[in-house]
Amino acid sequence: MNALLSLGYSLLTTNLTAALEIVDPYCGFFHTEVYGRPALALDLMEEFRAVIVDSLVLMLVNKKMLSPKDFNTNSGGVYLNGAGRKVFFKQYSERLTTTAHHPLANCSLNYQKMFELQARQLVKVIQGEVTTYAPFQSEIK
């Protein structure tokens, strides 16, 4: 489970960092500034980790889409092998294209678009253009 969660969180951080490239992704408020660490993306990840990664990992395990044969151990760590990565990346990509209702936009958007919308909203709060930030909340399916 930890190998899957770690991989998923890494991918999600990368996706959110890309959405935040319009601003400085190294300036955050939950996570401290450390050189080379995308603090703002890590902050934004908090509202998406359950709906994107945690629920994906649970689905992969509960539906037996991954099994012990999809993992290798190396140097004390557990890693997905090629076949396991193929399954994980395919399902992760499909999750990003899944649509859900976004209350602020009042329409259905895929999660990739939601990352950008939330990033824009967060930047406006940080820059003082608006005073409140509405985190994305969705039912986990």
Q: pLDDT for 100-131, tens place per residue?
A: 988 888 899 999 999 989 988 888 888 788 99
Gap between the Cα atoms of 96 and 110, Å rounded: 6
Most confident by average pLDDT, 18-27, 67-76, 82-91, 118-127? 82-91
* CATH of segment(s) 2-126: 1.20.120.920
Please tell me the predicted confidence (pLDDT) of residue 34.
54
What is the model's pTM?
Answer: 0.84
Please tell me the predicted confidence (pLDDT) of residue 106.
86
Kindly report, residue by residue over 6-49, the tens digit of the pLDDT: 999 999 999 998 888 766 555 555 555 555 667 788 888 999 99
- Alpha-carbon Rg for the chain, nearest whole angstrom, is 16
Q: Is the pLDDT of residue 74 over 50?
A: yes
Alpha helices in the chain (DSSP H): 2-19, 39-45, 55-62, 82-97, 111-126
Residue 97 φ/ψ, nearest 5 degrees: -90, -5
Please tell me the predicted confidence (pLDDT) of residue 35.
57
Instruction: Report in angstroms the alpha-carbon separations of 25 from 17, 45, 50, 64, 125.
Output: 6, 12, 21, 36, 14
Six-digit token pair at 95? 């999750």
Confidence of residue 138 (pLDDT cuts 50, 70, 90): confident
Residue labelled with tokens 């990664």: 53
